[in-house]
Amino acid sequence: MTWARLAFKLQPSAIGFATFVCLGLAGLALSLPSMLAECGSRSATDDCRTIHLFGSPLGDAVGMIYLAIGLAMYAVPLVLGVPILTSEIEQRTAMITWPLAGSRLKWLAWRAGSVLVIGLVLIGVIAFAAEGLAAVGAPDSDIGFAQHGARGISLMTRAGLMFAASLAVGAVVGRLLPSLLIGVALAVGLSMAFAVLPPYGVESTELTAAEADGGSSFMTGGAYRAPDGRPIGEDEANAIGQAAFQEYSPELPPDSILPYSVSYGVAGSRYFEVLARESAVLIGATVLVGGVAAAVVQRRRPE
């Protein structure tokens, strides 16, 4: 593990920050299920009030943990990736290390590769803990798309792409603070892209009531159907419903003559199909962005 010690010696603050954040979040995610189970028992104490503070979203401990994990998914790769090149350029050590290495690409592969391995291990700890936390809300073990992007493989592939992007920004800009600011803006852009890219070409279908209500499906839209099953628009559905209520007033009309809503999306049972496609796309993008960083390092002046 000499490479790990050397990587820590070169970036002690960044790796120390990443370790503290990742292990802290993983510890919280692993301990939270038992806390929730205790608060759900009859012997729950007043300490359980810390789990739900006045019923507000800020008191939702699970939601807060996943929010923190989502932020760490961008912050940790950013803090680890940007200084790899900016520190060498700003401190002018690149003028010595790059010629001594013989090949800039070999130097970059070692420097970035060692930090990437450390980062993926730390993010992997969070991903494992978050996977277990997501399973708490799925007693039937069908997690599906629940907390997708903030757990498991999807968390690691997104963090890997953010690391490559941070490395490329540091290579192009060459200054730590501007690179961090650009990296923050890039993280916002990536988060927006991650929200609109799924389900990666997997065709949406009409979901059953159980699939739509279970919380494990990926919802893409909804529609209305007439009592006879034909598709109708929202205005027509409202008109049919109002006419039925007027006809049977003051009694309630039977459900058989009322329009009903249907949901479209990808069922949770097809989650791994979407995950495989997403992983292929993100890994390919990571390799491409890493290639951009390597090309910049190969051509730029070491100062």
Asked if residue 274 and residue 223 are part of one domain, the reply reads: no
Asked if residue 193 and residue 163 are part of one domain, the reply reads: yes
pLDDT digits 0-9 by tens, 234-251: 898 899 888 888 888 888
What is the predicted pLDDT for the residue at 138? 64
251 lies in some domain: yes
pLDDT digits 0-9 by tens, 114-139: 999 999 999 999 999 998 888 876 65
Q: Determine the average pLDDT of the residues in 294-303.
A: 87
* Residue 37, pLDDT above cutoff 70: no
Asked if residue 199 and residue 66 are part of one domain, the reply reads: yes
212 lies in some domain: no
φ, ψ of residue 124 to 5 degrees: the values are -65, -35
The total domain count for the chain is 2
Measure the CA–CA gap between 259 and 242, rounded to whole angstroms: 10
208 lies in some domain: no
Q: Are 158 and 194 in contact (CB under 8 A)?
A: yes
Q: Determine the average pLDDT of the residues in 168-195.
A: 94
Which run of H or of E encompasses 266?
A: strand 260-266
Asked if residue 222 and residue 193 are part of one domain, the reply reads: no
Measure the CA–CA gap between 14 and 115, rounded to whole angstroms: 10
255 lies in some domain: yes
Which residues are registered as beta bridge partners of 266? 218
* Residue 32, pLDDT above cutoff 90: no
Asked if residue 132 and residue 15 are part of one domain, the reply reads: yes
Question: pLDDT: is 135 or 261 the higher one?
Answer: 261
211 lies in some domain: no
What is the DSSP annotation of 173-228?
H--HHHHHHHHHHHHHHHHHHHHHSTTTTPPPEEPPHHHHHSS-SEEEEEEEE-TT
Which residues are registered as beta bridge partners of 231? 225
What is the DSSP annotation of 29-54?
HHHHHHHHHHHTSTT--GGGGGTSST
Asked if residue 225 and residue 100 are part of one domain, the reply reads: no
From first CA to last CA, the distance across the chain in angstroms is 31
Which run of H or of E encompasses 78?
A: helix 61-81
What is the predicted pLDDT for the residue at 83? 95
36 lies in some domain: yes
242 lies in some domain: yes
Asked if residue 241 and residue 102 are part of one domain, the reply reads: no
Asked if residue 237 and residue 122 are part of one domain, the reply reads: no
Asked if residue 90 and residue 223 are part of one domain, the reply reads: no
CA 56 to chain centroid: 23
Buried b (16+ CB within 10 A) or exposed e, 62-80: beebbebbbebbbbbbbbb
Asked if residue 198 and residue 103 are part of one domain, the reply reads: yes
6 lies in some domain: no
Asked if residue 173 and residue 117 are part of one domain, the reply reads: yes
Instruction: Tell me what the pLDDT averaged over the chain comes to.
Output: 86
Domain containing residue 57: 11-203+268-299
Asked if residue 195 and residue 51 are part of one domain, the reply reads: yes
pLDDT digits 0-9 by tens, 80-119: 999 999 999 988 888 888 888 888 999 999 999 999 999 9
